[in-house]
Amino acid sequence: MRAARWVVLVLCAAGLLRDISLHLWKEHPLRASSERVRPDTRYRWVPPLLPAEVEKVSFLTDSEPGSERTAGRLYDARYALCPRIVAANDTWRFAVAEAGKPSALESIARARGYSLVASHGAVALFERR
């Protein structure tokens, strides 16, 4: 029984050390919490500008299709604009876009046949021309 006890303690300790190393060292430490923004903060100004009857919004970005960055931006937009449907296409009258740089927003809008309604940092709201 005594041997089993020490085996269990070692097994658990290895996992806990992994937890500690991951959360306190490899990730940002707690002191960075004030620098963190919630994922929907970038889009919070968008819903008041959308007409109430608009239920579907397109999503556009300049990051590589299929990349993690594209997926992350799309999911953040959905999370913020919920319960509206945010689809990765250029089908709908209104579109939200997120670019790597704010200067890229105009060219994204032009390329997909939209005009800029408003922008805030690297996030913009477009409307079909």
Partner 1 sequence: MIFAIGAILGGLALCAAAFPRAGSRAEQLFRFAAGALLGLGISGALSMALRLAGLPAPWKDRALVVAGAAVLVAVRGRGLRLEAGVVRACSDRILAAADAAAALLVFALFVEHTVRYPDGGWDARAIWNLHARALHRAPLRLDLAFSPEMPEAHPDYPLLVPALVADAFGVAGEDSYASGSIALAFAALLVAVVGTSAAASLGPAAGCAAALLVLGFPALLQLGATQCADVPLAALLATACALAVHARGGRGSLLLAGLAASLCALTKNEGLDWAAALWIAVSTAMRGRAALAMLLGGLPGFVLLLVFKLRFAPPNAFAAHTTVAGLWARVSDFHRFAAVASGLVAQSWNFASWGLAGPAVVVAAAWPLRLSSGSFEAARILRRALALCTASVFAIYLAAPPDVAALLPVSADRLLFQLSGAAVLLATTSWFAPRR
Binding residues vs partner 1 (CB under 8 A): 1, 4-5, 7-16, 18-20, 22-24, 27-28, 30, 32-33, 36, 38-40, 55-56, 71-72, 74-76, 78-79, 82-87
What pairing do the DSSP bridges indicate for beta strands 85-87 and 114-120?
unpaired
Q: Closer CB to partner 1, residue 58 or residue 105? A: 58
Closest approach of Cβ 25 to partner 1, in Å? 12
88, 115 contact by CB (below 8 A): no
Q: Closer CB to partner 1, residue 39 or residue 117? A: 39
51 contact partners, CB below 8 Å, separation of at least 6? none
Q: Closer CB to partner 1, residue 54 or residue 104? A: 54
Q: Closer CB to partner 1, residue 22 or residue 115? A: 22
Question: What values do phi and psi take at 34, rounded to 5?
Answer: -70, -20
Closest approach of Cβ 7 to partner 1, in Å? 8
Closest approach of Cβ 106 to partner 1, in Å? 27
Structure token digits, residue 60: 């556009």
How far is it, in rounded angstroms, from Cα 22 to Cα 17? 8
Closest approach of Cβ 100 to partner 1, in Å? 20
Question: What values do phi and psi take at 70, rounded to 5?
Answer: -60, -45
